[in-house]
Structure formats: structure tokens, C-alpha cells
Structure 1
Amino acid sequence: MLKNQPLYLTRIDIPVEVRSQVIDLLNQTLATALDLKTQVKQAHWNVKGLDFYQLHTLFDELATELEDHIDLIAERITTVGGLAMGTARTAAKFSVLAEYPFTITEGRDHVVQLADRFAVHAKSLRDGIQATNELGEMDTNDLYVELSRAIDKRLWFLEAHLQTIAHDHGV
């Protein structure tokens, strides 16, 4: 991300050095969340197979929830005096996620790919929990905890679906 970006004036009593580090961390998280949302929409638009309707609906729910997360992250960045860097190009450049494969259509393949990406995002959120705890910035820490719980729950949904598919097919 852009290091040492200018900060906007604010009366928030968080030291400038801490705010700057938190903004960098949040912008990294913003990039990953934006990327994940677009990858979920890629799956939503292109899923095929017997579980089409259920997965199409699930993927849309995931994307909608991620949109809410994105807004929370960006608003926290600006609340502490930073610039939310939320363009598609920025997300593509700074996301920690692997590129989504364009060659898949089968529902199970999409679920596997999304579960992999939700797991990476979940780990990055826990890294954010640790970093903000070490910085003593507990409001942003609370945001990371909230997002982490939500992403873990959605990862569970994806993994449970995979376990059902494996069981149903005798695997």
C-alpha cells in the first residue's frame, strides 16, 4: 500500500504513528475484501450443475455480506483520518488472494476455490487482530474481531457444503 500517505485532521486521540500503521493495515484488508467479493461474484455468475440454485443464492449472500464488510473497513480508514484505497486496480495489486480460475463451472469446484480464499482472508483478519492489539488500537481491533467471526462462519458454511457433497457422493 502507499506508505506515509497524508493523514486528514481529526480530533481522535490516537497517535499519528498508530493511525498511520492502522490505515496501512486496513487498506490491505480493504484490498483483499474487495478482491474476495469480486471472486465470489465470479462464482455466482458462472456456477453450473445440480446445486446451481443453492450455490447461486449462497454466493450472492456472501457477496452482499462482503460488501457490508468493505464499507465498514473503508469507513474505519476515513474515521481515523486516512484515505480508503478501494478501486479495483488497487484491490488487484494489493490483495493477498490468488487469482480466481476462469476455467471452472462445476459447483463443487467453485465451493473449493471460495473456501480456500475465505480461509486466507480469515487468517489475514486474525493477523489484523494481532497487529491492532499490539498497537493498542482496540476500536479497530474490535472491527477485526467482528469481521473474523463473520468470515469464519461463512467458511464453515462453505466447508459444510463440501462435506455434504463428499458424503452424498460416497467420497
Structure 2
Amino acid sequence: MALCRARPIYGSPEKREQLARTIQSILSTNRDPKKTRADAAKMREDMARHKKPSGPLDIKLGPGGLVDLEFAVHTLQLIHGKGLDPRLEHAIEGLAEHGLIDPSYDPDLRLLSRMLVVMRLIAPDSNEPSEKSRSLVAALCGHEGWDSLLAAHDEARQRIAQLWKSVREAQ
């Protein structure tokens, strides 16, 4: 799964290209979908057991958070050999082009990513920001108010949680 995010960043252009081809070759290898799903589910369960969410708005680690989206996308990439791009938004687009994921997960990714950055600055403990800061957080995340942002957040998390469940439990 780590290779799904790998990209050459150092070396001669020829060596970077050679490494990129090697990564693509490994990622494109045929895999047993059932085993890949089981391995990914176990890895996510282990991660959840050892790295708990730090608060109710832990955008990465909580149920339906960014980690669940990454696991769903990477599992689909490995099973199908499609959407093989290390940038999650491009991976979602590539998978969607093949009908393997709904493209609506891109706005979910963008919302949660923006929230992650803003909340780390304003409420680093993953709790709700102070009343005075909530309108700022909402505005920076593209929403008119805190309640609107929380509703969009909750909807995105529910969709992502359902996606991860459907990916890991598919037959």
C-alpha cells in the first residue's frame, strides 16, 4: 500500500523515470482481491487499535476520515491496477473513470483536507474550536457557518465510512 503513494523525487531524470516504471510495474501486478481486501482491513484495524483519534474532530483517524479514504482508494488501486497516481485526488479521478469509485469522493477529500489544515492551526487537539473561531474555520473551509460545515463534515465522513466498508467487504 505504501507504494501507492510513492513517487521518485531525487536522482537523474533517467533514474527517476526508471524507478517510476518499477513502481508502476509492482502496482500493476495481478493480486488476489480477497487477500488484498483482508490484508488492508487487518492493517487498518491494527492502525485503529494502536493510534486512536485524538478528539471528536480528528479528521484523519476517526471513522470515515482521511485514513479510511486512503485505505479504500489504495485497496481499489491494488486490486484493479487502475488510478495509479500517488496524489489521492488524481487516484480518485482515475478510479472514477473506470467506474470503480464515485467521483463525489473528490469533494469529500478536499473538504476534509482543508478542515485538517485549518483545525490543526486553530484547534490542534481535534476538539471543537472556540465559539469565536468557528465562523473563521467555516469560512476557510468554504461554508457560511459552523453548523453548515459540521453537516458537510458528517455527510462526508458517513460516505467515506460506507465506501471503506464496501471496499473491504466486497466479494
TM-score, length basis structure 1:
0.31
Say which structure is richer in helix.
1
TM-score, length basis structure 2:
0.31
